[in-house]
A and B are shown apart, each in its own frame.
Chain A
């Protein structure tokens, strides 16, 4: 009996591998999609404000204003443009030529040290709230730096009520790529896992091959296993490619251990494969299976995993929903393993959650798959 079981599994696995090799679509999903997504997110999408066009209005230029505005020209974050009146700068902002206006009034030199508040007018385009906040922050930084330098050069001590000594941990350069790329790996793995299995099983139904497979000695366990193993390998291949791109192309630090990364990825991939199998029991049509996979796995992984949008700032009801999004746990693990290291108190509960979810999804998939057409 055992010999027959091994023979059946070998046959099914060989068939699946041949199909993977001959059908470019699964290779494309596993390897081309990660590369494309990583390139888009790594290079195209950035949450950092860089080269922000800024209007400078200096009503009465002198030595002090010149030394202050010089800071903007040196900053990598701004592209300053000079305007002689606020009205002109205002018009430029409305035409979206600049994203902010720095307005140094005529009494700049007089008020800059004597009074506690800065004699600078700052107008920021608030349409993009995120960008506006960043511009505001940078500007304050430039102002504080200049003020400190100016005071030192005059042999004075600044008397500020609170002096913030800021140090950024885990991502000292505050580069958003370092934050985006690990999270993106979770989104990519969701795609390869769920989309691939859902589509591949649906394809067997669509082409009528599942019907003949069912009327053979192969049990439903063997059929499920033959779908899990090859796509697990393919998914891990995509994962390794993504990690390699992250580390060598985007120079994201990998501070935790590689084996922990692989172990948690395996747990997550099993989750995603389980979801895909579950979808395939509902839909026997590739198009519908693809749609369902994107709506119930990919979009939540994108929006509700904390990959881009911070879960803590979501409304309570949505926060609750994020607990059933497997990618949420994986994003947390990836971000800590990449940027912080093996932080066990963070990693352990999340891995446990992933293993639990994988068990649930695979169990449900096994439960709802039957050797029948009903």
Chain B
């Protein structure tokens, strides 16, 4: 993380009061005879003059908490005080005082940037005389000045987010509530937003409450509150969380064993809390701060190279979660790994994309894209929203014809026989695209039948899916009632019913908590070990680490291709000795913009 822009830890300053105080707040929602507890007895404070991060996966209760603080919801029980105002009895006073940016930025898309700003300035009754200076200040922070006359709907995701922020700042609020401001925007915009937030805190002494599902953003907050399942797992300086894990994180490199097989063995080893793939290594978090030996990790046949690494925030979140959830050690994914099909890739080209372009009018959503995916590979398509990932994906699945270029999937030319290629391909869409009103079993049967499964083979595949994905207990449950992680498992099972050779995953882990994400990738790894080719899109930079190879896309073009390690290595410097995937991404975007500027000039 960029250390310069990070605020001084709260502990080093003296704060006497809280901007925000929640006392044993609970909130449930009722719909259709069922009720869900969104917040469970939360007590929480946010101190004045710092950034407090509300961190947790989708469904943790972050948005509910934000809305309670904004006086948009009233709690079932408990007290909420915002800047000394009782939010329960005087919601309007809270709403007149705070600045609030809801998840979708709350912009009027058919109004221009200037008109949006004017509206919020009018609503906050900013005097005409003050506006000039106020706008100039906001323009300086957001860099929106050249786009004042552009309609908000025509802005890019990152600019919309900055305009949303500017609108919530027009009234100079002492407290700023930002609900997932960084979701879905590219890493460059994310960094810019964070630097604006930090400047607000430093220059104006504003208090900020910001929610996010990105764990790597925790380290940019002065204080974080970790949420999961409506509960508060803990609140402190993020450094305190990671400090508890000092000496418990390691990189393990195995010779003569694939990284995926190694990861699977390590996650099952005693004393190991967490094991995930990072490039060619496996990152391990242990229960005790001792350098483990290969024997301790249950690995005797292969030589292991174990090096200690600095703990990350995600490590502490996962260990907190595992402590609070008390889950049994996950058994290795059996049938998949012991499958009859050999676990080696024969290295033949399964997907060949050359000079692929897709135009919409005179706009190129995808431009001159080339890549090849070998069988048994996990291949990633990395990029922000709007980079052209989904368009490329739709063309690969034969759902959208290409404007130019050629596409071969499993040896079939998609321009000629899209249907034939589709038989060999399993597709898992970004959103839960199964029938919510059907049961788990009915969904599996329906999609199996749609791929022509019947009789004994259908029965066998149904049995396989229920057992393999541990869905047996939920076979009769209505799909829409399943927890997110199970929905995702069901979607994956459905995509695999007809035993495809190639699996397309479109943003598969979006919104899933870190444990759910690990479970999902464990299954994907097992599939790859079995020889299935996997192509995945993601905007989570850290998920690139799971991929054997990947391409980074921006504005419809490929910026780089290679392994995650190669990409990170390209940007290693004295200033950045250990660049993350995000650092590499930001540097690539910068380089491509410079190139274009150079070419134009």
| Chain A contacts to B: CB under 8 angstroms | 3-4, 7-8, 10-12, 14-15, 18-19, 22-23, 207-209, 211-219, 371-374
The answer to whether B441 has its CB under 8 Å from any CB of chain A is: no
Interface majority SS (helix, strand, loop, mixed), chain A:
helix
Q: Please tell me if the beta carbons of B104 and A7 are within 8 angstroms of each other in the complex.
A: no
Once A19-B108, A22-B110, A208-B105 are accepted as A-B contacts, the answer to whether A371 and B125 lie under 8 Å apart by CB is no
Q: Please tell me if the beta carbons of B110 and A4 are within 8 angstroms of each other in the complex.
A: no
Of the candidates B73, B92, B106, B168, the one whose C-beta lies within 8 Å of that of A373 is: B73
Q: How far is the CB of A88 from chain B (nearest CB, A)?
A: 60
Binds A, one of B112-120, B142-150, B305-313: B112-120
Q: Please tell me if the beta carbons of A217 and B95 are within 8 angstroms of each other in the complex.
A: yes
Q: Please tell me if the beta carbons of B101 and A11 are within 8 angstroms of each other in the complex.
A: no
Contacts of B108 in A (CB 8 A): 15, 19, 207, 209
> CA–CA, A217 to B96, complex, Å?
4
Can you list 23 A-B contacts with CB-CB less than 8 angstroms, sorted by A residue number?
A: A7-B122, A7-B125, A10-B122, A11-B118, A12-B123, A18-B111, A18-B115, A19-B110, A23-B110, A208-B104, A208-B105, A211-B102, A211-B106, A212-B106, A216-B120, A217-B95, A217-B96, A217-B123, A218-B123, A371-B71, A372-B71, A372-B72, A373-B73
Closest to B109 in A: A207
Q: Please tell me if the beta carbons of A209 and B123 are within 8 angstroms of each other in the complex.
A: no
Contacts of A15 in B (CB 8 A): 108, 111, 115, 119
Q: Please tell me if the beta carbons of A213 and B106 are within 8 angstroms of each other in the complex.
A: yes
Closest to A204 in B: B108
The answer to whether B98 has its CB under 8 Å from any CB of chain A is: yes
Q: Please tell me if the beta carbons of A372 and B101 are within 8 angstroms of each other in the complex.
A: no
Q: Please tell me if the beta carbons of A11 and B119 are within 8 angstroms of each other in the complex.
A: yes
Closest to B91 in A: A371
Q: How far is the CB of B118 from chain A (nearest CB, A)?
A: 7
The answer to whether B200 has its CB under 8 Å from any CB of chain A is: no
The answer to whether B124 has its CB under 8 Å from any CB of chain A is: yes
Contacts of B103 in A (CB 8 A): 208
Q: Please tell me if the beta carbons of B106 and A208 are within 8 angstroms of each other in the complex.
A: yes
In the complex, given contacts A11-B119, A208-B106, A212-B102, what are 19 additional A-B residue pairs having Cβ atoms less than 8 angstroms apart?
A: A11-B118, A14-B122, A15-B115, A22-B110, A207-B109, A208-B105, A209-B107, A211-B102, A211-B106, A212-B100, A212-B101, A212-B106, A212-B168, A215-B72, A216-B123, A217-B123, A217-B124, A371-B71, A373-B67
> CA–CA, A217 to B177, complex, Å?
15
The answer to whether B167 has its CB under 8 Å from any CB of chain A is: yes
Q: Please tell me if the beta carbons of A217 and B102 are within 8 angstroms of each other in the complex.
A: no
Contacts of A217 in B (CB 8 A): 92, 95-96, 123-125
> CA–CA, A218 to B106, complex, Å?
15
> CA–CA, A68 to B340, complex, Å?
99
Once A3-B125, A18-B115, A374-B74 are accepted as A-B contacts, the answer to whether A214 and B110 lie under 8 Å apart by CB is no
Closest to A11 in B: B122
Of the candidates A8, A11, A215, A218, the one whose C-beta lies within 8 Å of that of B98 is: A215
The answer to whether B70 has its CB under 8 Å from any CB of chain A is: yes
Contacts of B164 in A (CB 8 A): 212
Q: Please tell me if the beta carbons of A216 and B73 are within 8 angstroms of each other in the complex.
A: no
Which interface residue of B71, B115, B122 has the most chain A CB atoms within 10 A?
Answer: B122
Contacts of A4 in B (CB 8 A): 125
Contacts of A10 in B (CB 8 A): 122
Contacts of A374 in B (CB 8 A): 73-74
Closest to A208 in B: B104
Contacts of B105 in A (CB 8 A): 208, 212
> CA–CA, A374 to B31, complex, Å?
12
Contacts of B106 in A (CB 8 A): 208-209, 211-213
> CA–CA, A11 to B117, complex, Å?
10
Closest to B107 in A: A209
> CA–CA, A215 to B176, complex, Å?
11
Closest to A218 in B: B123
Chain B 172-183, CB-CB to A under 8 Å as 1, else 0, gives 000001000000
Which 9 interchain pairs have the tightest Cβ spacing?
Answer: A11-B122, A212-B106, A4-B125, A215-B100, A208-B104, A217-B96, A211-B102, A216-B123, A22-B110
> CA–CA, A212 to B104, complex, Å?
10
